[in-house]
Amino acid sequence: MSYILETRDLTQVYGAGTPFERTALDHVNIQVEKGEILGVIGHTGSGKSTLIQHFNGLLKPTSGEVLLSGHSIWDAKGKCDRKTRFAVGLVFQYPEYQLFEETIAKDIAFGPQNMGLSATEVEKRVREAMDFVGLDPALANHSPFALSGGQKRRVAIAGVIAMRPQVLILDEPTAGLDPAGRDEILAQIQDYHARSGATILIVSHSMEDIARMADRLLVMNRAHVMLCGTPREVFAHADEIARAGLDIPEITKVIRELNRRGIELDPSIYTVEDAVRAIRAYKEGK
C-alpha cells in the first residue's frame, strides 16, 4: 500500500556554510496514511514547522525526498508543480492575518480561483467551505475584518478547505483561543474529517488538545522523529516526552504518580474519561 504523504531521509539545513548553520530536519522518515488524523507535536524549534512546509513544496529539501501519493513532488528539473499546493492545503499559524479581500466570499475564493476553476465552481466551493467551518451563509458579502478573531480564523481555514485538498495541514489552529473557541475549532475539524474523508495533519504543542482526536501522533524533537504511533503508544513514553520539554496531560501525571505509589493503572491513559473508567475498574476488581 502506498502512503498519501511520505518523506524519505528528508533533510533541511538553513544557512549552510555560514556561522548560523542549523539543521532543522535530519534524515526524517515519515509515512502518512490516507484518511487518518495525524497529530504533529514538538516544542518551538523542533523542526515541526519546517516539516509541514515541505509537504506542499514551500521549502525545497536540502536532501531527501517528499512523496505525494507515491510520486516525488519535485520533478527532475527541480521544480514543484503548483498542483501540489492544491492537493496539500496548508493553514498557517494565526491564518487570520493573511485575509485581504473586501468580502468573506472573495477571500475564500482566492485559492479556487488560482486553481483556474470556473466561476460557478468557485462559488460552489465557497458555499461548501463556509458550511464546513460553520460560517453563516448570510455573511458571504460582509467584510472579513469586521469579524471576531475566532471567526476570522474560520474564514482563513475555509479559504484552504475550498481548494478541496486531499491533505489538510493546520499549524496550531487553536493558538490564542480560549477553551470554548478551541473546542469549537477542533470539533469543526473533526466534522470536516468525517464528512470529507480528507487526511488531516494538526500541528500543536499541546498534547491534550490533539491526543483526543488524532489517530496517530508524531513527536518531533531536535530535528528528528522522536516517537510515532497511536496516542496510547506515545503516552507510554510520557517521561521521554516530558524530558523533550513538552507538556503531558495532568491526568497522565496523576496516573503516573499513582503508579509510583504502587497502584497499577495503565500508564498510557491521557483522557479524564479513560482515567475514571480505569479507576472504577481497579476499585471493582479489588
Partner 1 sequence: MLRDITIGQYFPGTSVVHRTDPRLKLVLVIAMIVTLFLASGPVSYALLALYILSVIKISGIQPKMVVRGLKPVVFIVAFTALLNLFYTPGTELWSFGILHITDQGIRVAILMVVRILLLIIGTSMLTYTTSPIELTDGLEMLLSPFKKVHLPVHELAMMMSIALRFIPTLIEETEKIIAAQKARGADFESGNLVQRARAMVPILVPLFISAFRRADELAIAMECRLYRGDVGRTRMKQMKFGAVDALTGTVSVIVFAAVIVLGRFGW
Partner 2 sequence: MSEIIKTEALRYVYQTAEGGQKVALDGVDLSIARGEFVAVLGHNGSGKSTLASHFNGIRLPTGGAVYVDSMDTRDPNRLYDIRKTCAMVFQNPDNQIVATVVEEDVAFALENLGIPPDEIRRRVDDALKAVGMYEFRRHAPHKLSGGQKQRVAIAGVIAMMPRCVIFDEPTAMLDPSGRKEVMRVIRDLNSRLGITVVLITHHMDEAVQAGRVIVMHAGKVLMQGTPREIFTQVDALREASLTVPQTIEVLFDLNNQIGSDLPIDALTVDECADILEGYLRPTAAN
Binding site for partner 2 (CB under 8 A): 43-44, 146, 148-150, 175-181, 205-206, 245-247, 249-251, 253-254, 257-258, 261, 263, 272-273, 275-276, 279-280, 282-283, 286
Encoded amino acid at 283, one letter:
K
Q: Is residue 62 packed enough to be buried (19+ CB in 10 Å), middle (13-18) or exposed (0-12)?
A: middle
C-alpha closest to that of 274 among 219, 239, 241, 235? 235
Place of cell 497502584: 263
C-alpha closest to that of 171 among 4, 41, 32? 41
The contact pattern for partner 1, residues 33-62, with x = CB under 8 A and - = no contact, is: --------------------x--x-x----
Out of partner 1, partner 2, none, what residue 4 binds, judged by CB under 5 to 8 A for its kind, is none
State the nearest-atom distance from the C-beta of 58 to partner 1, in Å: 5
Largest CA distance in the chain: 67
Out of partner 1, partner 2, none, what residue 148 binds, judged by CB under 5 to 8 A for its kind, is partner 2
Out of partner 2, partner 1, none, what residue 92 binds, judged by CB under 5 to 8 A for its kind, is partner 1
- How many residues bind partner 1 (CB under 8 A)? The answer is 23
Residues 116 and 125: beta-carbon distance below 8 Å? no
Alpha-carbon span 105 to 150, nearest angstrom: 17
Which residue's CB is nearer to partner 2, number 78 or number 179?
Answer: 179
Which residue's CB is nearer to partner 1, number 95 or number 249?
Answer: 95
State the nearest-atom distance from the C-beta of 113 to partner 1, in Å: 8
Q: Which of 39, 42, 61, 159 binds partner 1 (CB under 8 A)?
A: 159
What DSSP assignment string belongs to 23-41? EEEEEEEEEE-TT-EEEEE
Q: Which three cell numbers, joined as nine digits, stand for 175? A: 493558538
Question: Quick check: helix, strand or coil at residue 121?
Answer: helix
C-alpha closest to that of 34 among 8, 6, 3, 68? 3
Alpha-carbon span 157 to 80, nearest angstrom: 23
State the nearest-atom distance from the C-beta of 34 to partner 2, in Å: 31
Which residue's CB is nearer to partner 2, number 38 or number 275?
Answer: 275
Out of partner 1, partner 2, none, what residue 250 binds, judged by CB under 5 to 8 A for its kind, is partner 2
Q: Which of 42, 61, 111, 173 binds partner 1 (CB under 8 A)?
A: 111
**What angle (nearest 5°) sits at the alpha carbon of residue 197, between those of residues 196 and 198?**
90
Span 136-155, contacts to partner 1 by CB under 8 A? 145
Residues 167 and 55: beta-carbon distance below 8 Å? yes
The contact pattern for partner 1, residues 56-95, with x = CB under 8 A and - = no contact, is: x-x-----------------------x--xx--xxxx--x
Contact residues: partner 1, CB under 8 A: 53, 56, 58, 82, 85-86, 89-92, 95, 97-100, 110-111, 114-115, 145, 159-160, 163
